[in-house]
Amino acid sequence: MNFLNKNHFFYIVLVLFSTFSFGQKDNKAPNIIFILADDLGYGDVSSLNENSKIKTAHIDKLASQGASFTDAHTSSAVCTPTRYGILTGRYNWRSTLKKGVIQGYSEALIPQDRTTIGKVLQANGYKTAAIGKWHLGWDWANIEAGEDKIDYTKKIKNGPTTLGFDYWFGFCGSLDMAPYVWVENDQPTMVPTKFTSNTGQGMWRNGPTSDDFVHEEILGQITSKSVEYIAENANGDKPFFLYMPLSAPHTPILPTAEFKGKSGLDNPYGDFVLMVDWSVGEIMKALEKQGIADNTIVVFTSDNGCSPQANFKQLATKGHNPSYVYRGTKADIFEGGHRVPFIVRWPSKVKQDKSDQLVCTTDFFASVTDALDIKNGATMAEDSFSFLPALKVKSNATVRESIVHHSINGSFAYRKGDYKAVFCSDSGGWSFPKINTDEAKGLPKFQLYNLKNDIAEKNNLEGSQPQLLELYRKELSLIVKNGRSTIGAKQKNDKPETWPQLNWMRDIK
């Protein structure tokens, strides 16, 4: 083979590699953007709620160009657990966090040996970034000496850059959780010099605040940083994955002057939702400007249902219900706690449609690896099912048939087909009947609802269909004990493997 022929040979090899790597026919694998709103209700998206009084034009446009799932759920009814599930493809309650959320000073929840979707994409040629709200813990410098002894001049450890992200810009917990400090990659951008707090719907807890951290400007900064990242990486030699967890419309509810009063609901929550909608629009404009909108998978969803801080009572006077027709709010085991908007836009593959396929936010992991023809190992994505078949995208993946729901206090529910079994007597959260109240103590131990006939979960069938309730109890028990809900080798849940919220499992062999 002469020199010319050798060059020709290597050129052919390079072309073949670029054609077939990632399992794609295109020369470049698709970019991927996952936009996660914070406490946005299903009913806040006008394309999903015919009675919505908030017109989410940009989110609606996203839906008109892709597929909307009408039966999509978060793995938990609160923040931290759902984020864990998105990045790991694993039910949150299998982690060491069995209930509630972590705080701004909490240590890292995801261990270094746990595979995340970021790590998988890094290993398969992607540039990866996370910009926004982390809320999965990391280790502050000198935290062992106390929260007031943190050394903000030093780098954090066990943060996003160690869990699959080449670039990180954001803050540690929710926007109402101290400390209020930006961290870029592993380095705090400034040392906090003051303490701040606020009350009402714009509430945030008192805590150390850096001069470059202004609560009212956070959503705008997340958006501008994300647009900047898209511009810098749009036409590089690698595809990119951008995980974009927003800070809104979670408290503090602080729409900027441009959006105040814009919703016409006399409630800053409606205006803040329009800011979230604006953020989505800015991302889509950036993709179109860079000419990569058609080769980018965009997923938009929320981390749980809407918080009571939105003031449901006041919004009802205007005819708006953030939970749509569903019972409950954020934190609850009821549908309003975990049923969320879930939109997928991928013009080269997905047509405009609405799907009633059961989907969980843990399914993002398997859907991405399915799209890129990457095989998941036995110890990863244990509770992740690909939703590509529902999008009519070529796939041999197993379709999700059931789902496990989880509330803020660690209560469980199991959904399969038309029925949902709830293994507590109360809401498991903040709605009536609240946990540990006299009203809850007088109710049946378990709940069973036919969601096809009773989407509002008003008619408890536990007394009339005990056999079905027992069947669901056994099926859920096996999912818990097997350490996975997907097909594969049995796995272990993180310690402790038994905890009080599993009392309903007793007598199951």
For residue 384, which of 76, 69, 30, 89 has the smallest C-alpha distance?
89
CA distance 167 to 186: 9
What DSSP character marks residue 143? Answer: G
Using the CB atoms, write b or e for 454-489: b if 16+ within 10 Å: eeebeebbbeeeeebbeebbeebbebbebbbbbebe
CA distance 28 to 234: 11
The CATH superfamily label for domain 31-394 reads Alkaline Phosphatase, subunit A (3.40.720.10)
Residue-wise pLDDT for 318-354, tens only, equals 999 999 999 999 999 999 999 999 999 999 899 999 9
User: Residue 148 phi/psi, 5° resolution?
Assistant: -85, 0
pTM to 2 decimal places: 0.94
Residue-wise pLDDT for 189-244, tens only, equals 999 999 999 999 999 999 999 999 999 999 999 999 999 999 999 989 999 999 99
**Burial class of residue 405 in the structure, from the number of CB atoms within 10 Å of its CB (0-12 exposed, 13-18 middle, 19+ buried):** buried
Cβ–Cβ < 8 Å for 400, 278 = no
| 96 three-class SS | coil
Whole-number pLDDT of residue 483: 97
Tell whether the model's pLDDT for residue 65 goes beyond 60. yes
| 422 three-class SS | strand
The CA-atom distances, in angstroms, between 465 and each of 275, 294, 471 are: 46, 49, 10
Whole-number pLDDT of residue 7: 39
Residue-wise pLDDT for 68-127, tens only, equals 999 999 999 999 999 999 999 999 999 999 999 999 999 999 999 999 999 999 999 999
The verdict on domain 404-505 having CATH code 3.30.1120.10 is yes
Residue type, 463: G
Regarding beta strands 240-249 and 31-38, do their DSSP bridges make them parallel or antiparallel, or are they unpaired?
A: parallel
The CA-atom distances, in angstroms, between 25 and each of 22, 261, 372, 373, 389 are: 9, 48, 10, 11, 19
Its sign, for the CA torsion 70, 121, 98, 466, is positive
Percent of the chain with pLDDT over 70: 94
Task: Kindly state the greatest CA–CA separation across the chain.
Answer: 88
Domain ranges of the chain: 31-394, 404-505
Contacting residues for 269 by C-beta, under 8 A, at least 6 apart: 201, 249, 253, 309, 310, 311, 315, 322
Tell whether the model's pLDDT for residue 299 goes beyond 70. yes
Q: Cα 385 to the chain's mean position, in Å?
A: 15
Cβ–Cβ < 8 Å for 315, 270 = yes
Regarding beta strands 359-360 and 402-406, do their DSSP bridges make them parallel or antiparallel, or are they unpaired?
A: unpaired
Cβ–Cβ < 8 Å for 306, 322 = yes
Residue 498 confidence class, pLDDT cut points 50, 70, 90: confident
Contacting residues for 50 by C-beta, under 8 A, at least 6 apart: none
